[in-house]
Amino acid sequence: MLEALAGRDQTFGLALNGSPPIAMPCRDFLRLRQDEFDLLGKITLPLAARVLDYGCGAGRHLKHLRAARADIHCVGIEACDGLRAHCNAAVASPATFVANWQQARNEGPFDLILLMGNGLGVLGDETAARAGLRELVDSMATGARLVIETGLWCGQGYRTNTLEIHHKGRRDGPFRWGGADRDWVVQALEVLGCEVTLSDSRAPDDVLFFAVATKRRLPMVPPPARIPL
């Protein structure tokens, strides 16, 4: 990915569950697709909003949001040191880039959280994904949104795959990467107090979709009745 950022067109191999690797162009991870552009354009953010991109990679979503709004605070989680350094140089302040959720959680409450590019998988297996979603929703302001892009190539519910990245004779991984169908995502987020809308993704995989979850406002609780003395 770093070579692609330097202008050298690159591909990497993605091996799923021990299968032969599939060639993936790095450029697809460096630029916004039109459907991502359209989706982000529909989200209204408050002044000085705090936006978290979990698994931000080269920061394509935060770069887009920064170009539109100078006041938002961009927070990115990215495990790769080189990509974090790139994001720190490419995304103007206020911006914070860290290696993991533990370092990012205190930057909230967040007004928008992104798990884009099949991003639900970064949370791991089903048990970890449910726990991770709860932590993310807990870190959101009331009325904030969580945008998830995910999907399944086969099966139902939530499935965990093993991924390996192949590039120039080097292998990274294996990584445990989860994905879910629409029913699983809606149920998992509704039980956390979110309203969920779904739409199709136009990612090359042709199986992904977007879920936009809005954290519901707390109901107004009437004051207790005065007890006559």
| DSSP, residue by residue, 29-74 | GTS--HHHHHHHHT----TT-EEEEET-TTTHHHHHHHHH-SSSEE
* CATH superfamily label, 2-215: Vaccinia Virus protein VP39 (3.40.50.150)
What's the pTM value of the predicted model, to 2 decimals?
A: 0.87
List Cβ<8 Å contacts ≥24 apart for 182-188: 182/209, 182/211, 183/156, 183/157, 184/156, 184/157, 184/158, 185/120, 185/148, 185/150, 185/211, 186/211, 188/129, 188/130, 188/133
Q: What is the mean pLDDT of the chain?
A: 88
The percent of residues above 90 in pLDDT, for the chain, comes to 66
- pLDDT tens digit string along 43-71? 999 999 999 999 999 999 999 999 999 99
The residue ranges of every structural domain in the chain are: 2-215
Q: How many other CB atoms are there within 10 angstroms of residue 164's CB atom? A: 17
What average pLDDT does this structure show over 135-140?
97
Reply yes or no on whether the pLDDT at 228 is more than 50.
no
How many angstroms separate the CA atoms of 56 and 68, rounded?
A: 18
Structure letter (DSSP) for residue 156: S
